[in-house]
Structure 1
Amino acid sequence: MKSVELNRIENIKELAKQNYHGVVELRRYFHIHPELSKKEFNTQKKIIQILENLEELEIRKAGGTGVIADLKGKNPGRTIAIRADMDALAINDECGRPYQSQNKGACHACGHDGHIAMLLGVIKILYDTRDSISGNIRFIFQPSEEEVADGSGAAAIIKDGGLEGVDAIIGAHLWQPVRSGIVGISAGPMMAASDEFEITIEGKAGHASMPQQTVDSILTASEVVVALNTIVGRDVDPMKQAVVSVGVFNSGSVYNAIAGKAILKGTIRTLDEEVRRQVFIHIKKIVEHISEMTGAHCNIKKNTCTYVVDNDPEVTAIVLKAGKEMIDGKAHPINPFMSSEDFSYYLQKIPGCFIFVGVGNREKGIIYPQHHPKYDIDENAMLYGMEVISNAVLKLLE
């Protein structure tokens, strides 16, 4: 390894250590004060207050409640973006830590508090090395990753010019399924496309004692739910991956009446566009055939939420090399996940790489999965994350 690279690596490690405790404090601040999608006003304000202390940053609001900051290097060159999401989930925090959420009904149960803090740490590292940078770095604090059905935060950032002039983008997720100390970096499809569906079954209501005069919407919808669970096992190529899940079943309000209407809502997760298309065709076929058989009427709606997070091979190779330089043996490829991420919106426009920073640590009691009320992270992971991201950006600028 060249002496220049060794100096850069040692410098990043030293700056990461210097900023680590401040990053932990910020992460806990954001955990105490979580805000839901499209309502991240105080989070936005706090981020801007911190960034304004760095005089050479160009800061602006974007995507409604998001923030974009640009850092220009000493010499001209490429532009690389780094993205962190900001929003919390609409659940009550039960982590039981001193930094438990003080906002009832809002909880950073997916690690976005750590994403914000980690990116603020990366900004400090890169800001302090700006005189040796050739090119520009764009820092994106993105709102509304969790609630994409009403408008993705990534789409809002793109609409506000967040990717203009950007050559590549990287993002990171603090991820409980991966052990703390490990950073997963893989090329190709890494997270699933996500589609929401809503099925309305219109039957014929009536008295529970006279079912022959009715068309039972609950019975019809129940048969639909059971049949939908055969799609992945029988209609999808077993070498492909897909998930079909029904999360909502609403029908009826009186115990002695047969309901005339039932509503089902759920998601489709796929890692392949052709499988994605085929799954919805099978859903439609099942619903229509069962409804015809029972005499009910049906209506099916689909809403595209995210695309496949498909990491660019060339960018990923550079990021993986950067990771191995920082934490040799602990940065390596991992298998994809069926969760979804609107980081995929950026990858539809420009090449990029999304990495997974492990935060699972059974010894510390960090065992609860993403979106669980008791979710927490091993905060040491943010140190690894800052190191790998900072080095990856500098290597991508070369």
Structure 2
Amino acid sequence: MQREHLEEITALRHRLHERAELAMEERQTKETLIRFLKERTALEVEDRGRWFYAHYRSGNRAAPALAFRSDFDALAIDEGPGLPYRSRNAGISHRCGHDGHSAALAGLALEADKLGAGRDLYFIFQHAEEIGGGGEECAGLITEKGIAQVYAFHNMSGYPLGSVMVRDGVTQCASKGLTVRFLGTPAHASQPEDGRNPAGAAARLVLKSQEAAAADGFSGMVMATVVQVAVGNKNFGIAAHRGEVSMTLRADYERDLERLEETIRRYAGHLAENEGLSVSFGESDVFPETVNDPACARLVREAAQACGYPVVAMKKPFRASEDFGHYLKRCPGAMFYLGNGESYAQLHTSGYDFNDRILERAVELFKKIIELA
């Protein structure tokens, strides 16, 4: 990678870090990236509202087009002092490294613009990955432009610095936030029999969710993680009449997730009917399974080996979800991972900051994928 480009994208990464914004609010982030590309390249840049893409035209219509995707939203995690480029937005920081993903993709765009490529390339800069809302919206570009393959990377701690991890088939799990709301009737705390209290139903639903996730017959890993239980208010004269249980359902395969959810919904309905309650449901942060095409995953391995980067086998999918799965439902492609270091701070923690030392590796690996595709 050209030294000038590496210096530019490192500085860009730090600017993005300073401007950390939450999902669906990434206006300044998007503007910073668009301005960077327009000032430094001749690429066509199209603003799609919450997201944008840049297009490199090769003039070679015989070669299928490739796409590369990055995300640019941050997390609701406070960042204390220490970094010279610390986030200026209180309570918001890039503790997942999406600033690095976007800086690396901008670096690939710089290299393609200056050095050329033998096929058309699309650089997709996506919003709202953390809540699962951006991928589905942006993935339509794959069909719209007839893109043949799509690739993305995520930085990953706990693996050797600069190592490459990639897996055939399912590489990240499907997940969904499910909230079950029970509504009864209030009563004086001294006469609970006059009302309908959902506390028992909420408690039994929590236990049932764990039992359902541990049942036999699933094809892969299945989890139901309770994230919040809220029943009534701290008023000692009034029996509770509202209850809510929120949980994250997670599975290697979408079909298993659907089965688990149906079991929990059905049991909640049964509890409500038996105890004279009404029940309603809410969903949030819905992620598909992320399924790598084996041929594309093999291409990533070949590219890594050609670059001299160590390849580490992935025996199991990562439990964390990734909305890149929406792209992979539209065309073949692969999500791969670059190691931050075996003892590097974990993502989504207060000690984490994207490792600038893997920026160049990401760009070079993308370039080799373009060459070998």
Residue equivalent to 1:23 = 9
Question: Structure 1 residues 116 and 163, CA, compared in 2 at 3 Å: closer, same or farther?
Answer: farther
SS in 2 for 1:234: coil
Deviations 1:40-89 (A, max 9, x none): 22212211221113443111112x23221111225332100000011112
Q: 2:90 aligns with which of 98, 104, 114?
A: 104
Residue equivalent to 1:67 = 52
Q: Which amino acid aligns with 2:215?
A: R
Question: Structure 1 residues 384 and 54, CA, compared in 2 at 3 Å: closer, same or farther?
Answer: same
Aligned-CA RMSD value? 2.3
Residue equivalent to 2:123 = 139
TM-score (norm 2): 0.91
Distance 2:282 2:71 in 1: 28
Q: What does 1:299-338 align with in structure 2 at a 5 Å threshold?
A: 299-302=280-283, 305-330=286-311, 332-333=313-314, 335-338=316-319
Distance 1:41 1:380 in 2: 27
Q: Which amino acid aligns with 1:103?
A: N
Q: Which amino acid aligns with 2:226?
A: V
Alignment of 1:200 onto 2:185: no
SS in 1 for 2:159: strand
Alignment of 1:40 onto 2:26: yes
Worse-superposed segment, 325-334 or 201-210: 325-334
CA drift at 1:375? 2.4
CA drift at 1:232? 1.9
Aligned residues: 371
Would the aligned equivalents of 2:66 and 2:122 in 1 still touch at CA under 8 Å? Answer: yes
Worse-superposed segment, 314-323 or 201-210: 201-210
Would the aligned equivalents of 2:154 and 2:338 in 1 still touch at CA under 8 Å? Answer: yes
Distance 2:184 2:93 in 1: 39
Alignment of 1:214 onto 2:198: no
SS in 2 for 1:373: coil
Question: Structure 1 residues 390 and 304, CA, compared in 2 at 3 Å: closer, same or farther?
Answer: same
Distance 1:56 1:71 in 2: 8
Deviations 1:203-240 (A, max 9, x none): 23222233333332123212211221122222553x62
Distance 2:78 2:231 in 1: 27
Residue equivalent to 1:165 = 146
Alignment of 1:82 onto 2:68: yes
CA drift at 1:259? 1.0
Deviations 1:245-264 (A, max 9, x none): 22232332233122101122
Q: Which amino acid aligns with 1:145?
A: E
CA drift at 1:187? 1.2
Q: 2:230 aligns with which of 236, 239, 250?
A: 250
Worse-superposed segment, 184-193 or 65-74: 65-74
Would the aligned equivalents of 1:243 and 1:270 in 2 still touch at CA under 8 Å? Answer: yes
SS in 1 for 2:31: helix
Distance 1:107 1:253 in 2: 33
Worse-superposed segment, 120-129 or 17-26: 17-26
Residue equivalent to 1:9 = none
Worse-superposed segment, 353-362 or 342-351: 353-362
Distance 1:353 1:182 in 2: 16
Identity of aligned residues (%): 25
Distance 2:261 2:65 in 1: 39
Question: Structure 1 residues 183 and 332, CA, compared in 2 at 3 Å: closer, same or farther?
Answer: same
Alignment of 1:282 onto 2:259: no
Distance 1:44 1:304 in 2: 22
Deviations 1:137-195 (A, max 9, x none): 110111111233xxx22232244677512111001111224342221111100111122
Worse-superposed segment, 53-62 or 135-144: 53-62
Q: Which ranges of structure 1 fall in alignment gaps of 5 or more residues?
A: 1-14
Distance 1:125 1:185 in 2: 24
Residue equivalent to 1:371 = 348
Distance 2:65 2:283 in 1: 36
Distance 2:341 2:85 in 1: 19
Would the aligned equivalents of 1:183 and 1:323 in 2 still touch at CA under 8 Å? Answer: yes
CA drift at 1:273? 2.9
Residue equivalent to 1:343 = 324
